[in-house]
């Protein structure tokens, strides 16, 4: 493309006798060239993903999935794959759509030994936390953990894989210059476990800085391992999930957002986490100016579902689960999706919520589209025209 620009400029000089006209034309050509570069997405050749069940493509299932065996059976995976894959949804996840957008295959889970990791790997594990198990044990929620493969454990997996990806410092630098690192979504389980054992909002707010600090530390560790392009998501709106609406419902109308029916205090909590995370990432960006640290606003990309669900094709709303065991939001802890007493809707794409905790493929597709082409990544994941 640079050679083409030189050729155009050369032709322009030959054809235009006026120096002023020549300068004007050169500036116009340069402007067009810069605009073209800015509108072209980076050509990522690999993606590496970390996180929890919102991003896990099979690691929890491969590790046994003892706390959540239903992900190994239909209806999980019913929509796209037609069989269970270990994804906590009816089909594809945000990470699948992002890989697809860059022309890459879906990321194999790290625990799929013998998989081809040349185009990336997924280290996310369902139930994983940003904080290490020791911290969660100390605050009294450790007995609920689905897995000990927290964010730091996933980073160790990545570092163990490094020798298979590149051999020299230059090779690694070249390889990672075209790699996208997705650091999450993670952190939600650190809070889910706390709320589940009855901890107060004030208690859980007290360790939000620890959670966001752990995510920032993980991001820094990846940068020190050669990562250049990193996308770090915030939390989804907790107050709009079926599980929170069921377990923490209130008799007070004032506790609900009149626009969407979500629980206000839990959405405010998610915003608090996201605000602290953005500050931590801003500090990191100032420290590592060669890196491109992108904040992904999952909250902003998802909250419109609740405001206007039918606009997104969710004719059954955004708060009721497609798969569940009854109740106002079709979430029943005694008959969770895939367990006896539960049933699945006939059209998951008409629901935003899949099983009370996770979203449907249709919802994840919409979020991914918003991240790729909308205003919900800062700076933009896909470079846009000015």
53 is catalytic: yes
349 is catalytic: no
**Cα 175 vs. chain centroid, distance in angstroms?**
22
From the candidates 46, 49, 53, 366, which is the catalytic residue? 53
32 is catalytic: no
From the candidates 96, 190, 358, 366, which is the catalytic residue? 358
Residue numbers annotated as active site: 53, 355, 358
């Amino acid at each position: 493309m640079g050679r083409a620009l030189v050729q155009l400029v050369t032709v322009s000089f030959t054809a235009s006798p006026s120096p002023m006209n020549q300068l004007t034309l050169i500036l116009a050509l340069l402007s067009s060239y810069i605009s073209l570069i800015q509108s072209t997405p980076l050509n990522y050749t690999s993606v590496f993903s970390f996180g929890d069940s919102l991003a896990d493509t099979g690691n929890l299932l491969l590790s046994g999935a003892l706390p959540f065996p239903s992900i190994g059976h239909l209806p999980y995976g019913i929509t796209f794959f037609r069989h269970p894959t270990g994804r906590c949804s009816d089909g594809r996840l945000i990470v699948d759509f992002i890989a697809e957008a860059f022309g890459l295959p879906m990321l194999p889970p790290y625990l799929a030994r013998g998989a081809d990791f040349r185009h990336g790997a997924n280290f996310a594990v369902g139930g994983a936390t940003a904080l290490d198990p020791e911290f969660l044990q100390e605050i009294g929620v450790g007995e609920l953990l689905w897995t000990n493969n927290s964010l730091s454990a996933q980073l160790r997996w990545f570092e163990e894989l490094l020798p298979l990806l590149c051999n020299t410092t230059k090779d690694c630098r070249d390889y990672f210059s075209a790699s996208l690192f997705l650091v999450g979504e993670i952190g939600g389980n650190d809070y889910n476990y706390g709320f589940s054992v009855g901890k107060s909002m004030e208690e859980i707010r007290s360790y939000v800085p620890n959670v966001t600090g752990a995510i920032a530390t993980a991001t820094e560790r990846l940068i020190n391992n050669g990562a250049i392009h990193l996308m770090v998501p915030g939390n989804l709106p907790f107050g709009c999930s079926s599980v929170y609406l069921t377990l923490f419902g209130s008799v007070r109308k004032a506790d609900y957002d009149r626009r969407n029916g979500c629980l206000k205090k839990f959405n405010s909590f998610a915003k608090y986490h996201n605000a602290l995370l953005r500050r931590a990432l801003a500090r990191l960006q100032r420290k590592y100016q060669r890196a491109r640290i992108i904040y992904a606003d999952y909250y902003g990309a998802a909250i419109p579902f609740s405001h206007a669900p039918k606009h997104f094709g969710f004719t059954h709303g955004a708060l009721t689960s497609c798969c569940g065991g009854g109740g106002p939001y079709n979430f029943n802890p005694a008959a969770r999706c895939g367990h006896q007493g539960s049933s699945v809707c006939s059209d998951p794409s008409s629901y935003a919520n899949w099983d009370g905790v996770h979203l449907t493929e249709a919802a994840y597709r919409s979020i991914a589209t918003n991240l790729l082409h909308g205003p919900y990544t800062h700076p933009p994941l896909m470079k846009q025209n000015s």
